[in-house]
Amino acid sequence: MIEIQLKMTERAVELLTLPEDTPCMILDLGCGSGLSGETLTEHGHNWVGLDISSSMLSVALEREVEGDLMLGDMGQGLSFRPGMFDGAVSISALQWLCNADKKSHVPAKRMFKFFSTLYSCLARGGRAAFQFYPENSQQVELITQQALKAGFTGGVVVDYPNSSKAKKVFLVLFVGGQQQLPRGLGTAPGEKGVPGHVQYTDVRQRIKAARGKPLKKSRDWILEKKERRRRQGKEVRPDSKYTGRKRKDKF
């Protein structure tokens, strides 16, 4: 499940088409325990995570993720200042707005409230990429209608539409004018791909190699993370010769 989450986040970041080697401010909607946020950090971006579950946010705090975390319900709208974010991602969260968990919940109104406030807090020219699991075509239509009603342009991108296992649905939204909708993976004529297996396994390694970043959990990676936390004003243990040293297995 963790590997799938990371792969879908990689694809969502790819759909944002952010400028290379330029740190951006990203909003992670339904951030959970911070797995998707770690991918954003690896890409060199700053991020803010929002989630409705306090227990999941507690896990993210325990994992010492780099982003800022907020407790909130997407259906009640977002309270960030206008144009604050360069982009937004969301993995496996958007479909929950289709549910009416309380008598006062009206899915269409909650979606419009969410999308209209998201539109406001995204910078002009920004994008949002949502991976979600619709139960049926009616949910896709409802979600898309409310997003367009809030001012977005864009639409649905489906990766590997002919594979029951690899198929993934993304809603890609644009702020400020019509842009070309990205092509779904496995949809181009003659495109090679293994049904049931989404081929992003080497994406993270290619990014790290291109940017010269150390491997995760290595000594250099740990020292870089500690230095970032110092710059953020957070308390960090002093470096020593034991920093990043692999511990022996216990018997």
Q: Which long-range contacts (CB under 8 A, 24 or more apart) does 2-6 make?
A: 2/35, 5/35, 5/36, 5/91, 5/92, 6/35, 6/36, 6/38, 6/39, 6/204
How many whole angstroms separate alpha carbon 122 and alpha carbon 128?
9
How much is the pLDDT for 184? 92
Amino acid identity for residue 27 in this structure? L
How much is the pLDDT for 199? 43
Strands (E), the chain: 25-29, 46-51, 68-71, 85-91, 122-132, 153-159, 168-174
Backbone angles phi, psi at 188, to 5 degrees: -75, 145
Please, are residues 155 and 144 in contact by the beta-carbon 8 Å criterion?
yes
How much is the pLDDT for 201? 42
How much is the pLDDT for 101? 77
Counting as low any pLDDT under 50, the low residues of the chain are 194-201, 251
How many whole angstroms separate alpha carbon 219 and alpha carbon 171?
38
Amino acid identity for residue 11 in this structure? R
How much is the pLDDT for 248? 60
Please, are residues 157 and 170 in contact by the beta-carbon 8 Å criterion?
yes
How much is the pLDDT for 247? 63
How much is the pLDDT for 194? 46
How much is the pLDDT for 195? 44
How much is the pLDDT for 231? 61
Backbone angles phi, psi at 213, to 5 degrees: -80, 145
How much is the pLDDT for 242? 67
How many whole angstroms separate alpha carbon 91 and alpha carbon 5?
7
How much is the pLDDT for 233? 63
Task: Report which DSSP code applies to 103.
Answer: T
DSSP letter string, 176-216: SS--PPPPPTT-STT----TT--S-TTHHHHHHHHHTPPPT
How much is the pLDDT for 99? 86
How much is the pLDDT for 246? 66
